[in-house]
Amino acid sequence: MNATADRDMNAYWDRAGRVWVEHQALLDKIMAPIAEAVVEAAGPVNGERVLDVGCGSGATTFAAAWRTGPTGRAVGVDISGALVELARRRAGEEGIEGVEFLLADAQTHVFATPFDAIVSRFGVMFFPDPVAAFANLRRALKPSGRLAFAAWRAPEENPLALVPLRAAAPFLPALPAFEKDAPGRFAFADPDRVRRILEESGWRGIEIAPLDVASPLSFDELMTMSLRVGPLNPILAQEDDTVRGQVREAVAAALEPYAKDGLATMTSACWLVTAEG
């Protein structure tokens, strides 16, 4: 394993996790149909054990738990302490039984009890060594267990990921590049790369299909996604109020054509990937 990449990813999610905690309700609202599609594709039934990789604040784990019932178990794993703490608190406050949350790195963690299925809503694109990670996950499955996950397609197919960055560019010294072969949001944009990773890590019966989900948002929610949740957030945190104001005005102007009567539609262009262990 690349120790530097591993440290960088932990540092990234230490910061990003706190942001996601702050905006948990909005993120769950946008991603709920994707979580449901992933769980549906995995097909867990009453009494089974399901692992949710990169569980975040627990929404996909909860969706799996509804299917596994009182005799089953849905286990969420994440490297963000803030998100795992929130997931545990939500499970307690909402009285959701049959769930468990682990603070651990799914790339290397040895899971004690095998699972019938593994699911993930955007939690598998950040592994420093994806082949090693998916091999480890396959070892966590029972024979012929199922895998289902969602990953983002190319940024060009997700225009609202690019519009804010392009609008902000004139006011900032540098912007992050979307590296399609490195850990990050669009690491699995190339379906051929996804297939190679899964094949090299021992998976079979691999199927990759497009999944497009349109989420209606208020304009304020769209601005929050663009400035607070997206990649501009850590950059703007280093800038002064003048620059932040300029960026906000530019991003608002760039997003305005996507809104009508104060509402906008954010389309999440994803891959829905399934495989067998």
Res. 5: pLDDT tops 80: no
User: For residue 77, what is the enclosing H or E element?
Assistant: strand 73-78
pTM summary value: 0.92
Res. 104: pLDDT tops 50: yes
Res. 80: pLDDT tops 90: yes
CA–CA separation, 26 vs 149, rounded Å?
A: 21
Write the DSSP string, 110-156.
Answer: --SS-EEEEEEES-STT-SSHHHHHHHHHHTEEEEEEEEEEEE--GG
CA–CA separation, 30 vs 190, rounded Å?
A: 23
Considering the chain, what is the average pLDDT of its residues?
92
CA–CA separation, 20 vs 80, rounded Å?
A: 10
pLDDT at 7 (0 to 100):
54
194-232 tens-digit pLDDT: 999 999 999 999 999 999 999 899 999 999 999 998 888
Encode 42-64: b = buried (16+ Cβ within 10 Å), e = exposed. Answer: bebeeebbbbbbbbbbbbbbbbb
Determine the residue type at 167: A
Query: For 16-30, 244-258, 261-275, which range has the lowest pLDDT when averaged over its residues?
Result: 16-30
Query: For 6-15, 24-33, 137-146, which range has the lowest pLDDT when averaged over its residues?
Result: 6-15
Greatest CA span in the chain, whole angstroms?
A: 58
pLDDT at 179 (0 to 100):
76
User: For residue 76, what is the enclosing H or E element?
Assistant: strand 73-78
pLDDT at 1 (0 to 100):
42
Domains of the chain and CATH, by start: 3-154+177-216+268-276 (3.40.50.150)
Q: Report the pLDDT averaged over residues 251-269.
A: 92
Res. 130: pLDDT tops 70: yes
